[in-house]
Structure 1
Amino acid sequence: MTIVPAGTEVPYTVTFLEMTERPTWSYPHLPATEPASLLKAEDPPVWYFLSLYDAVGRDYAWEDIHQREHSDIAAWLSHEAVTLHTLLVHGWPHGFFLLDARAGTTCDLAYFGLVPEAVGRGLGSWLLKTAILMAWDMPGVTRLEVNTCTLDHPRALQSYQRHGFTPVRREDRTRVLTRNRDLTRIPD
């Protein structure tokens, strides 16, 4: 484990992906091995979204949203074309996704992920397939987009590609960490 202290500038690469056709698969069944449910949040408060964002992203340097004003986040979350869905297993959040279709025909899978305790239990593929189909079910959507970066889970990019997304561009960036991080996955 290599702990990189807050204040360190780290390099990373963002990959932007898209999907221009609805997948042919049907909605998957909830995993039978877990008592699970997927709930859509109605007018979620900012603290609820941020708790999911931090629970999923704390190990991947998800920090950007904390730079936004809470009033801006609240307006975004309450927009009719933005939906937040939480995967609950055994009564507590195991993951979430947020769909943002404010761009009309393009829906952005703006956030997607599992909490560390849920990784490797077969829930990720189910949740991603469900998120993709729910995005395609939104009125007028003809294109789905997502992005991931080398600070995310090491299998994020291949998972998006395996589920039908195609990379369309990459950008090299740097960021200054605001918290200490275990970033042993950062490429040199």
Structure 2
Amino acid sequence: MIEAEGPALPRGFHNVAPGDLACVVTSLEMRQPPAGLRRLVPEGDVPVQLVRWKDCAPEKYRLLYRRVGEPWLWWSRLAMSDAELAAIIHDPQVQVHAVVDRARVEVGMLELDFRAAGTCEIAFFGLIPGATGKGLGKWLMRRALQMAWVPGVERVWVHTCTLDDPRALGFYMGQGFAPYARHVEIFPDPRVAGLLRESAGTEPIIG
């Protein structure tokens, strides 16, 4: 005998199974480059630089991905096999960059995806805890947009969700992105799956 599932949920509500998480994803886009985008910031004014990681080993990539994204439960790349991950990050239309400080320590990452014709997705963008709140995010976004707006690109887009830094949505909008879509995403909790530490996403963020 099949037991009743209980009363029907009101419109707009969704069941979330035990062990799953839910978030609201907002996608934002930019249809033309901001004014003055090509103006360079003097290198001495910024204590970091971008280093292109060409053909980096999947494990090296995951270490930085985890350092940047674990507080926000980034997990999708951790669930991939080496072959699946390499097929993306070694694609000539995908650019992976590390943000490196003056001590040559990686403190952030930027990934640009040009695989869709006429489009650049800012697939991953972030700084490690402790490197935020210092103006580096604006510098990194400026560099991201300078590299994204190449001839043939007509649209640059990015997404964020309610598990990300709560300042992220406002930051993207402040940089010239406009929201165009929202949806609810339900996925297995990466901590339950063993992809992230049990304490991930619960520790205070500094910066």
TM-score normalised to the size of structure 2?
0.79
CA deviations over 1:14-68 (Å, ceiling 9, x no partner): 0011111011123441564554221111211111221111011000010121222
Q: CA offsets per residue over residues 91-139 of structure 1, 9 Å max, x none? A: 10111100000112011100000000211122111001110111112x4
Sequence identity percentage = 34
* Residue 12 (structure 1) aligned with residue 40 (structure 2): no
Which residue number corresponds to residue 107 of structure 2? 94
Aligned to 2:76: 64
Which of 18, 22, 25 matches 2:33? 22
Q: Distance in 2 between matches of 1:72 and 1:126?
A: 31
1:53 maps to 65
| Structure 1 unaligned blocks of 5 or more | 1-6
Q: Any idea what SS the aligned residue of 1:112 has?
A: strand
1:147 aligned residue (150, 159, 184): 159
In the alignment, what sits opposite 1:4?
none
Amino acid at match of 2:153: V
The match for 1:81 among 78, 86, 93 is 93
Cα distance in 2, alignment partners of residues 184 and 37 from structure 1: 28
Given candidates 180, 184, 190, the residue that maps to 1:168 is: 180
- Find the aligned partners of 2:111 and 2:80 in 1 and give their Cα distance: 17
* Cα distance in 2 between the residues matched to 1:54 and 1:13: 21
8 Å CA contact 1:28–1:129 kept in 2: the answer is no
2:4 maps to none
Larger Rg: 2
Report the 3-state secondary structure (helix = DSSP H, G, I; strand = E; otherwise coil) of the residue aligned with 1:87: strand
* Contact 1:30/1:126 (<8 A) preserved: no
Of the two structures, which has the highest relative contact order with CA contacts closer than 8 Å and spacing of 6 or more? Answer: 1
Write out the 4+ residue segments of structure 1 that deviate beyond 4 Å after TM superposition: none
Residue 184 (structure 1) shift: 8.9
Structure 1 SS opposite 2:117 = coil
Amino acid at match of 1:103: A
2:32 maps to a residue whose letter is: E
Say which SS state the counterpart of residue 66 (structure 1) adopts. Answer: helix
Residues 1:50 and 1:109: Cα distance change in structure 2 (over 3 Å): same
Normalised to the residue count of structure 1, the TM-score between the two structures is: 0.86
